[in-house]
Amino acid sequence: MRTILLLVLSCVSLSVHAQQRPMVQTTKVEGTDGVYIFRNGNHQAMFIVTNDGVIATDPVAYGRPDGGKTYIDEIRKVTDKPIKYLIYSHHHFDHIAGGQAFKDAGAKIVAHKRTKERLAVLQDPHTPLPDETFDKRRTIKLGGTALELSYHGLNHSDSSLVMRLPKEKIIFIVDTFPVGAFPGRGFIDFYPLEAEKFGQQVLKVDWERMIPGHPGPNDRLGTKKDVEDQLTLWRDASEAVKVAAREGKCWDGVEKEMKLPKYESMPGYQNGLPFVLRRYCGLWGRGT
Ligand SMILES: [Zn+2]
């Protein structure tokens, strides 16, 4: 019965998010020697195969009891080298649940210190605590590859990392900048003012392609233009709500009446709009 239910849920998930693609997929990033994207449903993570082992990120196994093992099985189709590290992009369970399989395989879990603090309180049974944490910067060096981890302050969460492969000029940032899509539920605890500063900092970093935590349209990777577009979208939404808030229209007036017509053809607009408006009402109509 449980198996049948899971199958049904998987099918629903496929039809809604992945348009009948396989549930799980691993793709080599074009033009790289060993950078891969592992996708499970509508979530994805980056892993890097080096001469001395594998650096994996985000287990993406929330609600998928075998998801972490599935991820490892996919890595094993590419290499038999040991999985040395698992990096958490931030503390949200939909991206980092499922790490036990990596720990069992011998990987060391690395995350921002705030991730560990949050996980330690919440004790999610599917999300092992990091073995190592850092605050601002940490570079993972393995088999001739460097993966730079850095923390630039609040944005989508208070633990979101920028992961950068300097040689490939690739960054992996999860959830903060949806590629080609309107922000969604993740806006519920977003830090609007700080995220704008974060966006400006990310634009100054040297990179060309961004791997997002959710697949972009036709699986395309993000560019600096996508970051600029999100910044513009946040500012447009923020300004519109600010004006309305000062007329006393938060929460009800804004949530029931406001539209952002410039973005209405963007994927995710209908579902995401209430979350974006509510968050900016929190800021301009409330002060938080
Ligand atoms: Zn998140």
pLDDT attached to residue 20: 78
Residue 129 CA to ligand 1 centre (angstroms): 17
Residue 102 CA to ligand 1 centre (angstroms): 20
Token pair belonging to 1: 């019965």
Residue 67 CA to ligand 1 centre (angstroms): 18
pLDDT attached to residue 2: 46
What count of Cα atoms within 13 Å lies in the side-chain half-sphere of residue 207?
26
pLDDT exceeds cutoff 80 at 17? no
42-100 per-position pLDDT tens digit: 999 999 999 999 999 999 999 999 999 999 999 999 999 999 999 999 999 999 999 99
pLDDT attached to residue 125: 96
pLDDT exceeds cutoff 50 at 1? no
Residue 248 CA to ligand 1 centre (angstroms): 31
Residue 35's pLDDT band, with cuts at 50, 70 and 90, is: very high
Find tokens 């899509």 and name the residue.
Answer: 181
Write down the mean pLDDT value for the chain. 94
What's the mean pLDDT in 181-186?
Answer: 96
Degrees, nearest 5: CA angle 177-178-179: 110
Residue 254 CA to ligand 1 centre (angstroms): 25
Residue 255 CA to ligand 1 centre (angstroms): 23
Residue 144 CA to ligand 1 centre (angstroms): 30
The residues near 62 (Cβ < 8 Å, ≥ 6 apart) are 43, 93, 94, 95, 97, 98, 126
Residue 96 CA to ligand 1 centre (angstroms): 9
Answer yes or no: are the C-beta atoms of 224 and 231 closer than 8 Å: no
pLDDT exceeds cutoff 50 at 235? yes
140-149 per-position pLDDT tens digit: 999 999 999 9
CA distances from 122 to 80, 115, 126, 186 (A): 34, 11, 11, 19
Closest CA to 227 of 257, 260, 201, 203: 203
Residue 13's pLDDT band, with cuts at 50, 70 and 90, is: very low
Residue 19's pLDDT band, with cuts at 50, 70 and 90, is: low
pLDDT exceeds cutoff 80 at 3? no
